[in-house]
Chain A
Amino acid sequence: EAGVAQSPRYKIIEKRQSVAFWCNPISGHATLYWYQQILGQGPKLLIQFQNNGVVDDSQLPKDRFSAERLKGVDSTLKIQPAKLEDSAVYLCASSGRADPSWNEQFFGPGTRLTVL
């Protein structure tokens, strides 16, 4: 089965610019996650979708970050405007189980963002 797809793989922008990332989860997976992974740290959850509804966005900096999952399949994560501290790898993951007590997550390759 095809894995989680993400694009672009790399992005370099200047601070105050905007950027968008795209994710296509594994076919049939209802749950989709966006994580931010800063170098040397573990993934930090930004937002979790169940189908096209938001389950948890408590750690999403909503003044600059937004995400949507139209039609409950693909998702986009946007940063506007970007700050230097947003430099990180943005990982998308999906899970086929709705029950949070069993949610093995499948990660995509990530998008490495550098903000200059």
Chain B
Amino acid sequence: GQQVMQIPQYQHVQEGEDFTTYCNSSTTLSNIQWYKQRPGGHPVFLIQLVKSGEVKKQKRLTFQFGEAKKNSSLHITATQTTDVGTYFCAGLEESGYSTLTFGKGTMLLVSP
């Protein structure tokens, strides 16, 4: 079955530093979604990428979808303490009907 892998599992940065998490799928994706889960909270949708090579920005967050539609990244510029949480990517397989498969997530800790 489809597998979605994320690296790193965990990252601790100082406030103001940049952060990047990477997501790789074992199969080609029709789209990829990113979610953020605060400690003790539930996943909250951030964005969806659909097109090969697509880049989308949300303030300090930049999302990319790979040309082969098998990988994606989330980059946060100048992290803030409010960025603390676990970031999940979730991919939808291109072939036929499928459901979202979540990665294990990258936990981000930001120290002031």
Q: Is A108 an interface residue (CB 8 A)?
A: yes
Binds B, one of A14-22, A36-44, A72-80: A36-44
B95, CB-defined interface residue at 8 Å: no
- Give every chain B residue within 8 A of A56 (Cβ-Cβ): 99
- Bound together, the chains give a CA A99 to CA B100 distance in angstroms of 12
A106-B45, A110-B42 known; A100 and B105 CB under 8 Å? no
- Give the residue name and chain of the A residue nearest to B4 (CB): A42
- In the bound complex, do residue B104 and residue A42 qualify as a contact, i.e. CB atoms below 8 Å apart? yes
Please tell me if A67 contacts chain B, counting CB pairs below 8 Å. no
Take A100-B92, A101-B31, A101-B92 as given contacts and tell me if A45 and B99 are in contact as well, using a CB distance cutoff of 8 Å. yes
How many residues on the A side are at the interface (Cβ–Cβ under 8 A)? 23
CB distance from A71 to the nearest CB of B (A): 23
Q: Is the CB of B30 within 8 A of A101?
A: yes
Q: Residue B78 at the A interface, CB < 8 A?
A: no
B103: chain A residues at CB < 8 Å are: 42
Closest Cβ neighbor of B103 among chain A residues = A42
Docked CA distance A44–B102 (Å) = 7
Within the assembled complex, what's the spacing in Å between the Cα atoms of A58 and B44?
A: 25
Interface string of B29-69 (1 = CB under 8 A from A): 01101000000011111001010000000000000000000
Which residues of chain A from 48 to 98 have a CB within 8 Å of any chain B CB?
48, 55-56, 91, 93
A55: B residues at CB distance < 8 A: 99
